[in-house]
Each structure stands twice: as C-alpha cells, then as structure tokens.
A and B are shown apart, each in its own frame.
Chain A
Amino acid sequence: MLLQKRLEKKVNRMKNKTIKVDYLARVEGEGSLLVKIKNDKVSEVEFKIFEPPRFFEAFLRGRHFTEVPDITARICGICPVAYQMSSIHALENILQVKVDPQIRELRRLLYCGEWIESHVLHIYMLHAPDFLGYEDAIQLAGVSPEVVKKGLQLKKAGNDIVNLLGGREIHPINVRVGGFYKIPSRQEFSKLAEKLKHAQDIAIETVKLTSTFQFPKFEQDYEFVALKHPKEYPFNEGRLVSNKGLNINVNEYENYFHEEHVRHSNALQSAKNNDGIYFVGPLARYNLNFDKLPDSIKELAKEVNMLPPCNNPFKSITVRAIETLYACQEALRIIEQFEMPEKPFAEIQPREGTGYGCTEAPRGILYHKYRMDANGIIQEAKIVPPTSQNQKQIENDLFSFVSKNINLPTDELTWKCEQTVRNYDPCISCATHFLKLNFVRE
C-alpha cells in the first residue's frame, strides 16, 4: 500500500515539473526562464526580464537633436549602430534632410560591420556551443581551436569596419544627423577591403558548417515582419511588410502595433493589433527578402538546403551566417564603388515636427519616433527595440517546444529551452531600457 502511494507520488512528480533557469547565459543582458508543467501539460511560460530599467525615452527629452545618436547608442553595446541609424533617420525625417548618395552607401557599410560583428558573436560564441554540446566557446576552442579562431577573425572584420568608419567598435563617435563627422580616406578603405576578402571566405565556411548541425524538428506558422526595399536587402530603408499581408509605411507603425506592460518583465512587450504575436530578425528578413540576395548566395543557400521559407527558428544560426556573408559582399561592393562625397555631412537647421525611423538592427526592426521643437530640442521620444517585439514569440515557442518534447529528461529539456530563447539572439539590455516614463506637463 505504502509502496503504491510512493509510486503514485513519483508518477505525479514526473507529470508535474518546473523548469527554471534563474540567469540565462549566453544572451545579452539579464533574463530568466520559467516553464511550469502540470499533468504533462505546459501550464505556464515566462521569459522574464529583470534587467533594471534605464529610462532612455525620458532622458532624451530636453536634449538637443545633435546629441541623440550618441545617447541612443548607449542603449546597447552590441548594436549601437542600429540605435544611431534609426535615430538619425527619424530625425532627418523631421529635418527634411537630403543626404548625399555616397553618405547613404557609407551608412549601409557601417551597418554591414555591425551585422557581421553581432551575428558572428552570436553564431560562434553564443549559439554554436549549444549545437555542439559545449557550455561555451572557450570549451569549444579547447576541442576545435581553428573553428573558434576563424570565428574570431570573421568577427574582427566586422569590428574593423565599425572601427574605421565609426571611430571605435562600441559606441561609435563618427555618426551625426546629416552624415559623418569625417570620412576615411580611399587608402584606408582599400586596406579594409583586403581583410573583407578573407572574411568572405570564412563566412562561406560558416554557412556550410552551421548547415550541418542537427536541428530539432520544430516548425511553426509565424507572421514574419521586416523591412522591404524595392532594390536592396534591407538595412536602413523600406516599407514594413509581413508574410501575412502587412504592407505599411514606417510612419504608420503605431497604427498597427502596440506595447503592453506585463508584471514579469521589465521590458514592454510589443504586439500587433488584432493578431498579436509576430516575429522579427534575421529569419524574418531572409524569408521576406531572399529575392534581393546576389545569385551566388542564392545558389549557396540551395546547396545547403536553406531555401525559404524557413519556419524553424533553430536554423536561424545558418540564416545569420548567410546574412554575414551578404554583409561581407555588400561591404566589398560599397568600397569598390565608393567616391568621396563633396562634404561629409549636410548642413541642418532645426525645425519643429515629428519624425519616424525604422532600420534593421541585427536582431530585427528597430523603430524610433521623435518630436522636436523649433530650437531642435527633443520633446518626446519613443523607441521599440527588436527584442521587445520578439518577447511574446519567444514565450510562444517555449510553450510549443516544451509541449512537443515533454518527455525529455529535465536537464536536457532545460538546455533545449535555453536554446529556444537563444534562437532569437535576444538583447535584453536593449529591450529593458524602454520602460516608459512619461512626464506630466502643465
């Protein structure tokens, strides 16, 4: 009798369990994970963000527009260029600045650098160890030093671009509304090109390597949202589109999306009005913009069996590698066709108004809106980072993944859950800095 009771208890324990990761590793920032299972069913999922709020949108009020790109860069040490780019586009939207076509190209070049640096950090240091069964890249380097060394070399090529054009890799100083403070010389660009040619080869190897990983069978019916431009793979410009019929101007963003404040997260969560959850980032961009990639990359994608649509978020590691390769090639193209513009920046007079900007950060669309007075002082700022937009999607994936793999041993399931989160390369620092603090003015 006693034995039977014990047995029942044991069975119950197996049916009810809690997966808890108090401090998620290999993501940028502070987050945790909680999955509750009751009677063999997932009852609760929380991707919790406890990173302390930093209130950027409040600090931006009262600052001069020329200071904005330097301040927004500090939101994230991993993707400062994205914050600078979205802010200058939104501000130039108010100021009605016409930028020299070469400046526009150099902005794409700078973005290439950030995509390479950020994607490769994620591929080699944060994500690949999961697929290969290591705790981190240092362990991996102990077994396959060449792989990690090549990864670091590729990452460095991205940082070299940001270093040259931005002045330094973290919080670049050379970006300003209207252009750049200074444009590097042709010789400096040529040196960079040589490094990028090597990087390109490593990027091809990276695509091939990651495509051989074992991916869990996990496909979902997602709504992907990304920028789409008529001629280019998107960085700075385009319309916001989705695979489910969305097609809007950037300035209509707030008519279609809203933010919610939930108890378990220090970051606001974004949702699409009416249909809720959506997906931003490399996988979304790739599925919606594959036609804009050069033929050689399309062929490689076919060779490694990665033709879109790709609905398995675990495969995002290969998509990041493909985008890294694209960024290397695009950077080389820009450098080859570069002509020194007459002036490094456009002269600007402050102007009253509201402006909108949205660019493709490494992790997905990053939306900025500013209202400015006639003296160029910011009156209101709104910033929606990609990780806020993916939060609900991440929780949704966790729910589905655990439901489908409920019988895995807890240790393994926990690691797989962490991996499910890492698929999105969440930048928690970004997401949390936007708890809004509004002012009441009389």
Chain B
Amino acid sequence: MASKEKPKLAVWKFASCDGCQLSLLDCEDELLSVAGAIEIANFPEASRAVVKGPYDISLVEGSITTPHDAERIHKIRRQSKFLITIGACATAGGIQALKNFKDVKEFIRLVYANPSYIETLNTSTPISNHIHVDYELHGCPVNKYQLIEIINAFLNNRKPNIAPHSVCIDCKLKGNVCITVAHGTACLGPVTHTGCNALCPSYNRGCFGCYGPKETPNTGSLADWMSKHGFREEEIVRSFRGFNAFAEAFRKESESHEK
C-alpha cells in the first residue's frame, strides 16, 4: 500500500550561482502544485524549516571545490534515495572548472593578501566524480520544465523523458535558417545537448554550449570547420572552454588545440 506521507525533497548547494535552484522558484505557475505533491524538506534558499533525512529526492546544484564539500557530498548521498545533479556546475564542474586548466596553488600562494584564510581544492569537479549519481540534468541554467519532469519521473518510478539530441536538430525542427551555413557564424549547436530549444540561433547568435556535449559529439569535425573558416586555434580553444569546459568531449577538444 502506498504511504500517505508526501515524498521528501531536499535541495543542496555547492559552488554555483544559485541559478539552477532558482529555476524551481521560477516555476511561478507550477510551484504551488509541486509543493502540494511533495514535502520541501530541506531547501535553505526558500525556507528556514528543516526536516531531517532521509530524503526521497535530493537535487544537488554546484561543483566540488573545497575539502569540506568533498566530505559533505558523501553525507548527502547517504541520506538520499535518489540523487539528481542539476546544472553545468554539478554535472561538469561549471565555469569555475576553468581553474582545472591552470596551477591554482601557485597563484594563491603568490598572490592572496591572506592566503591562509582560503581553503580551496586545485580543481572544480562534477558531483559524479565523488559519488554515485542517479541522474544528471544538464544546462547553464537547467530548463525548468525539464526539472519538473525529472522530479515527476523519479516520484513515479519511470524513466525521465528528456530528449538526447543536439541543438542542431532543434533548429531544424523550428525551421531556423542555419546561421553557420548562411552567415559563417561559429556555432556549437551540432555538438551540444538540447534543452534550450535552440535559443541562441533563434536570436541570431551561435550556440555557446550551455547544455554541454550531446552523446557521441563529433567535436573534431566542428573544429575542422572552424579552422577552415579562418578561426584561430586560440579561438577554438575558447569556444570549447566555457561553462562545460571540463565535460570530457569539450575538454579533450580544447586541449588538442592548445600549442
């Protein structure tokens, strides 16, 4: 028999901008229905009330950048039935993972007014590098409707219905004129995961990869196209080195154009 108690939802934050958890509060039309179906048991950005774990669903925003956070994520895993990471920080290390490409320790020692006050790891890493994650929802920020879909799917023990294709396909579906073909604009659409409904190309600009690499992306072919159309190596590096710089496919592509 199904329990009458509402399933408990917790929201956790690591290094991030708060934007992905804000997506939940940005569901103006749906928020009260969501709150009616689940118990918001731990969501400090929204409430000072805290209900003890274990939790049915934990949403985790942000990346691991401090020794303390590397410990904390294990405690959260132990209290969570399903743990879902949301956003580019949690799934790929985020924009702060740009420090993974540099020697941070050296910089801090050389520079801080009071370096001893700062406790930070050399890297910013996705949550899945530290614990088992049940589902990763990509995006910088995540798509709020996809977020509701994920919560819904896990509460009903079904597979989330999130399309895996590229942004490029979205443009075709929308009937957008291809900005790369028509104007020679660099666009990560062919290698980027869908989720934004081809937002940037619809606003006359190239995709810059907010949703990270799609499955089996041919980044090499795209980089070749960029070279042939006069983009310099450092420009290719920068275009793959954005909010999902540390996602494997983008990382390898950017590294192969360095030096």
Residue positions of A touching B, CB distance < 8 A? 23-30, 51-56, 58-59, 63-64, 67, 70-71, 74-78, 80, 121, 125-126, 135-139, 141, 145, 148-149, 152-153, 155-156, 159, 167-171, 173-174, 176, 181-182, 261-263, 266, 418, 427, 429, 433, 435-440
The docked-state distance in angstroms from the alpha carbon of A432 to that of B47 is 22
23 pairs of residues in contact across A and B, judged by CB atoms under 8 Å: A25-B45, A52-B65, A53-B65, A53-B120, A54-B96, A58-B102, A59-B98, A63-B238, A74-B94, A76-B18, A77-B22, A78-B18, A80-B19, A121-B22, A136-B46, A145-B32, A149-B32, A168-B196, A170-B19, A182-B204, A261-B114, A429-B16, A437-B104
What is the distance, in angstroms, from A61's C-beta to the closest C-beta of chain B?
Answer: 10
What is the distance, in angstroms, from A66's C-beta to the closest C-beta of chain B?
Answer: 10
Q: B26, B104, B110 — which one has the most chain A CB atoms within 10 A of its CB?
A: B26
* Contacts A64-B238, A439-B107; A26 near B19 (Cβ below 8 A): no
Which residues of B from 32 to 46 have beta carbons under 8 Å from A? 32, 35, 40, 44-46
Asked if B208 contacts A70 (CB within 8 A), the reply is yes
What is the distance, in angstroms, from B123's C-beta to the closest C-beta of chain A?
Answer: 12
What is the distance, in angstroms, from B139's C-beta to the closest C-beta of chain A?
Answer: 10
Q: Is B138 at the interface (CB under 8 A from chain A)?
A: no
The docked-state distance in angstroms from the alpha carbon of A29 to that of B13 is 8
* Contacts A52-B66, A55-B96, A67-B238; A137 near B114 (Cβ below 8 A): no
Closest to B124 in A: A54
What is the distance, in angstroms, from A265's C-beta to the closest C-beta of chain B?
Answer: 9
Interface string of B96-117 (1 = CB under 8 A from A): 1011001010011011111001
Asked if A153 contacts B118 (CB within 8 A), the reply is no
What is the distance, in angstroms, from B136's C-beta to the closest C-beta of chain A?
Answer: 18
Asked if B13 contacts A136 (CB within 8 A), the reply is no
Question: Which one of B22, B95, B112, B141 contacts A261 once the chains associate, using CB atoms below 8 Å?
Answer: B112
* Contacts A58-B107, A77-B17; A159 near B238 (Cβ below 8 A): no
Q: Is B205 at the interface (CB under 8 A from chain A)?
A: yes
Q: Is B152 at the interface (CB under 8 A from chain A)?
A: no
* Contacts A261-B117, A437-B111; A30 near B19 (Cβ below 8 A): no
Asked if B18 contacts A429 (CB within 8 A), the reply is yes
Asked if B99 contacts A171 (CB within 8 A), the reply is no
Asked if A59 contacts B18 (CB within 8 A), the reply is no
The docked-state distance in angstroms from the alpha carbon of A80 to that of B18 is 11
Provide the main secondary structure of the chain A interface.
Answer: loop
Closest to A50 in B: B68
What is the distance, in angstroms, from B207's C-beta to the closest C-beta of chain A?
Answer: 9
Asked if A418 contacts B48 (CB within 8 A), the reply is yes
Q: Give chain A residues whose Cβ lies under 8 Å from the Cβ of B15.
A: 51-52, 54
The docked-state distance in angstroms from the alpha carbon of A75 to that of B94 is 11
Q: Give chain A residues whose Cβ lies under 8 Å from the Cβ of B49.
A: 135-136, 139
What is the distance, in angstroms, from A221's C-beta to the closest C-beta of chain B?
Answer: 30
* Contacts A25-B44, A28-B18, A438-B111; A170 near B23 (Cβ below 8 A): yes
- Number of B residues whose C-beta is below 8 Å from A? 61
The 8 closest A-B pairs by CB, nearest first: A77-B19, A136-B47, A25-B48, A135-B49, A156-B28, A152-B28, A170-B141, A54-B96
Question: Which one of A28, A70, A139, A440 contacts B111 once the chains associate, using CB atoms below 8 Å?
Answer: A440
Question: Which one of B20, B48, B205 contacts A181 once the chains associate, using CB atoms below 8 Å?
Answer: B205
What is the distance, in angstroms, from A154's C-beta to the closest C-beta of chain B?
Answer: 9
What is the distance, in angstroms, from A257's C-beta to the closest C-beta of chain B?
Answer: 16
The docked-state distance in angstroms from the alpha carbon of A148 to that of B32 is 9
Q: Is B178 at the interface (CB under 8 A from chain A)?
A: no
Q: Give chain A residues whose Cβ lies under 8 Å from the Cβ of B104.
A: 55, 437
Q: Give chain A residues whose Cβ lies under 8 Å from the Cβ of B13.
A: 29-30
Q: Is B73 at the interface (CB under 8 A from chain A)?
A: no
The docked-state distance in angstroms from the alpha carbon of A433 to that of B94 is 13
Closest to A21 in B: B48
Interface string of B176-203 (1 = CB under 8 A from A): 0000000000000000000010011011
Question: Which one of A51, A141, A182, A433 contacts B32 once the chains associate, using CB atoms below 8 Å?
Answer: A141
Asked if A169 contacts B108 (CB within 8 A), the reply is no
* Contacts A429-B16, A429-B18, A435-B118; A25 near B113 (Cβ below 8 A): no
The docked-state distance in angstroms from the alpha carbon of A58 to that of B69 is 22
Asked if B47 contacts A25 (CB within 8 A), the reply is yes
* Contacts A25-B44, A263-B114; A52 near B140 (Cβ below 8 A): no
Asked if A135 contacts B47 (CB within 8 A), the reply is yes
Q: A26, A136, A435 — which one has the most chain B CB atoms within 10 A of its CB?
A: A136
Q: Is B162 at the interface (CB under 8 A from chain A)?
A: no
Asked if A121 contacts B98 (CB within 8 A), the reply is no
Interface string of B220-246 (1 = CB under 8 A from A): 000000000000000100100011000
The docked-state distance in angstroms from the alpha carbon of A263 to that of B114 is 8
What is the distance, in angstroms, from B73's C-beta to the closest C-beta of chain A?
Answer: 13
Asked if A53 contacts B31 (CB within 8 A), the reply is no
Which residues of B from 43 to 67 have beta carbons under 8 Å from A? 44-49, 65-66
Q: B22, B99, B102, B118 — which one has the most chain A CB atoms within 10 A of its CB?
A: B22
Asked if A125 contacts B48 (CB within 8 A), the reply is no
* Contacts A27-B45, A261-B112; A174 near B203 (Cβ below 8 A): yes
* Contacts A25-B45, A125-B25, A174-B203; A77 near B18 (Cβ below 8 A): yes
Q: Is B210 at the interface (CB under 8 A from chain A)?
A: yes
Q: Is B29 at the interface (CB under 8 A from chain A)?
A: yes
What is the distance, in angstroms, from A173's C-beta to the closest C-beta of chain B?
Answer: 5
The docked-state distance in angstroms from the alpha carbon of A185 to that of B130 is 47
* Contacts A30-B13, A138-B47; A153 near B28 (Cβ below 8 A): yes
What is the distance, in angstroms, from B244's C-beta to the closest C-beta of chain A?
Answer: 12
Q: Give chain B residues whose Cβ lies under 8 Å from the Cβ of A53.
A: 65, 118, 120
What is the distance, in angstroms, from B108's C-beta to the closest C-beta of chain A?
Answer: 7
Closest to A148 in B: B32
Q: Give chain A residues whose Cβ lies under 8 Å from the Cβ of B95.
A: 54, 56, 59, 71, 74
Asked if B112 contacts A135 (CB within 8 A), the reply is no
Closest to B23 in A: A170
What is the distance, in angstroms, from B137's C-beta to the closest C-beta of chain A?
Answer: 14
Q: Give chain A residues whose Cβ lies under 8 Å from the Cβ of B200.
A: 167, 173, 181
Asked if A167 contacts B140 (CB within 8 A), the reply is no
* Contacts A58-B99, A181-B203, A437-B111; A266 near B25 (Cβ below 8 A): no
Q: Give chain B residues whose Cβ lies under 8 Å from the Cβ of A80.
A: 17, 19
Q: Is B82 at the interface (CB under 8 A from chain A)?
A: no
Q: Give chain A residues whose Cβ lies under 8 Å from the Cβ of B250.
A: none
